[in-house]
């Protein structure tokens, strides 16, 4: 997607970014390896990779996550990482896998990951932006806004009990 690449940063800044990404990942409950790559991604700033077991899972955070974090109108680094932790929970939770593979449903992994993300963040702003993202994804799947809002709250209430 991005032909251009980020401005170079110092080794110290690189380490600081990795440290910050790791600290947030641990706070959200992410287990596995966390890496920082100073290139622009095509995945919104971070990517979750399923490993052979939870500690072999990989979270890669990219330069655009920090760029988005610096924009007050965009997702924070916390929200981006919480969403990826959501993917990890969804991939590793048998009940959630059952929900996804069950009857035809508009509930996608992407929606579930955002709702789980909203449950693992301490920030009210990040919670709200993740729930809005889940609703926007449901609308994208063809739902009306009110239906999408209802669906996302139902999932959230359900997951609050399940997780």
Cβ closest to Zn ion, residue 63 vs residue 115: 115
Name the residue with tokens 């909203």.
Answer: 118
Pick the closest to residue 39 from 64, 76, 22, 11 (CA basis): 64
Restricting to residues 93-132, which ones interact with Zn ion according to CB under 5 A?
110, 113
Q: Which is nearer to Zn ion, 9 or 109 (CB)?
A: 109
Sheet holding 46-49, edge to edge: 33-37, 58-62, 46-49
Q: Which is nearer to Zn ion, 9 or 92 (CB)?
A: 92
Nearest distance from residue 80's CB to Zn ion, in Å? 9
Of the two residues 74 and 110, which places its CB atom closer to Zn ion in the complex?
Answer: 110
In angstroms, give the least distance from the CB of 16 to Zn ion.
25
Distance of closest approach, residue 83 Cβ to Zn ion, in angstroms: 6
Q: Are 101 and 117 in contact (CB under 8 A)?
A: no
Length of the chain counted residue by residue: 163
Question: In the structure encoding, which two tokens stand for residue 115, read together?
Answer: 């709702």
Residues at the interface with Zn ion (CB under 5 A): 110, 113
């Amino acid at each position: 997607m991005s032909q251009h690449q980020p401005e170079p940063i110092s080794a110290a800044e690189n380490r600081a970014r990795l440290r910050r990404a790791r600290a947030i990942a641990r706070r959200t409950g992410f287990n596995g390896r966390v890496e920082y790559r100073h290139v622009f991604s095509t995945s919104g700033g971070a990517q979750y990779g399923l490993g052979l077991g939870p500690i072999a899972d990989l979270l890669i955070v990219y330069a655009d996550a920090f760029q988005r974090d610096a924009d007050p109108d965009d997702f924070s680094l916390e929200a981006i990482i919480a969403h990826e932790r959501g993917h990890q929970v969804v991939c590793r939770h048998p009940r959630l896998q059952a929900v996804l593979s069950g009857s035809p449903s508009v509930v996608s992994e992407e929606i579930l990951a955002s709702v789980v993300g909203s449950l693992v963040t301490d920030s009210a702003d990040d919670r709200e932006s993740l729930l809005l993202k889940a609703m926007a994804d449901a609308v994208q799947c063809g739902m009306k806004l009110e239906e999408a809002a209802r669906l996302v709250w139902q999932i959230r209430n359900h997951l609050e009990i399940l997780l």
